[in-house]
Structure 1
Amino acid sequence: MNIESELITLEELAVLLHRNVNTLRVAVSNRPESLPPRVRFPGVQRNYWRRSTVEKWIASFEEPLDPTERCDQPTSEMVQRVEFIQQTNSCESKTPHKNKKKNRVGRPTKAEQMRRREVA
């Protein structure tokens, strides 16, 4: 087995990850933790990855088919928080909208300007 054949370039990594090459170039410099571990040779600017490492990295994100085995299942505490938030949001939506004052950013509307002139 030739070690050269085990190393893949950024373009080959993009094909394996189904991502755009330019997206991966940005990720290499800005978010290297979002990619599999890379191989850097002294004096070489190009990035390489081991195919076996990339395949293991991809497999680490695979979700089990059986939903009972999933680790990221919402806990009862999380479900209670979501239900609480939904209840509070539903109460707010039942109140009439005309009572709510809209906090706008930016230049006042023409109607707001006219009201201010009438008051002054």
Structure 2
Amino acid sequence: MRKVALIAASLAAALTLSACDTARNAVEAAKPKTSAQAVWEARALFDAGPLNAAAAYARLPACASDGQAKAPCAKPEVVGQLSKAATAALAAFDAAEATVRANPQTDADLALAGTVNAVQAVKTILDTYGIK
């Protein structure tokens, strides 16, 4: 929940003063009301960002082993790394979703704790190879 609150606070700070009331209302409406909402929002952000970038990279034609393929192309070893990391992240999100469904009072940060390293692994691979 703290991460979501930080994002919401950053969004609010970026808005102009003339729209303060409207902005405050929008930020308040965007904050997750439950741990389950926080988990689903985090999953949606992962799906739309890093997972989407990894999938787009994997759809590129494979790079030739002799280095003669025209860019852009996907290196098979990078696709393999991304696939493993994304699978781990998705499993972590599935576990977080199962946790908040079974125990709705679970703190969102606690439920999402297992996803942090898995998501970071995907982001690190994307950053290392300059995949956007």
Specify the TM-score bucket, using the shorter chain as the normaliser. Answer: under 0.3
Which of the two has higher C-alpha Rg?
1
TM-score scaled to structure 1, two decimals?
0.25
Higher relative contact order (CA 8 A, sep 6+): 2
The structure with the largest helix share of the pair is 2
